[in-house]
Structure 1
Amino acid sequence: MSLDTTPILTATDEARRQLEICNACRYCEGYCAVFPATFAERAFSDGDITQLANLCHNCRGCYYACQYTEPHEFALNLPAALAEVRVESWDRFAWPGGLGRLFQTRGVALAGALILGIAALFWAMAALTPERGTGFYAHLSHTIMVAIFGPAFLLPILVIAMGLRGYWRETGGTRVTLSQLASALRDGASLRNLSGGAAHGCNYEKGDRYTLARKHAHQAVFWGFLLCFASTSAGTVLHYGFDLPAPYGAFSLPKLLGVPGGVLLTLGALGLAGLKLRADRSLGAASAWGGEMAFVLLLAATGASGLALFAATGTALVAPLLALHLGTVLTFFLTMPYSKMVHGAYRLAALVRDAQRKGA
Structure 2
Amino acid sequence: MRVTEPGHVPPSEGYWMALMQQGEFAASPAPAAEPEEVWEGLGMGRGRPIPMPGPRDLEGAEPDWRAARRYLESGQPFAVTVVGYNRGGLIVRAEGLPRGFVPASHLLRFTNALEGPARRAALARYVGQSLRVRAIEVDEVEGRFILSERLAYQDEERIEALFAELRPGQVRRGVVTKVTAFGAFVDLGGFEGLLHLSEMSWGRVPDPSAVVQTGQELEVLILDVHPQERRVQLSLKRLRPDPWETVAQRYRVGQIVEGVVTTVTHFGAFVRLEEGVEGLLHISELNEHPVGHPREVVREGQSVRVRILHVDPASRRIGLSLRGIDGPSP
Q: Which has the larger radius of gyration?
A: 2
TM range (shorter): under 0.3
Q: State the TM-score, normalized to the length of structure 2.
A: 0.23
Q: With CA pairs under 8 Å and 6+ residues apart, which has the higher RCO, 1 or 2?
A: 1
- TM-score by length of structure 1 reads 0.21
Structure showing the higher strand proportion among its residues = 2
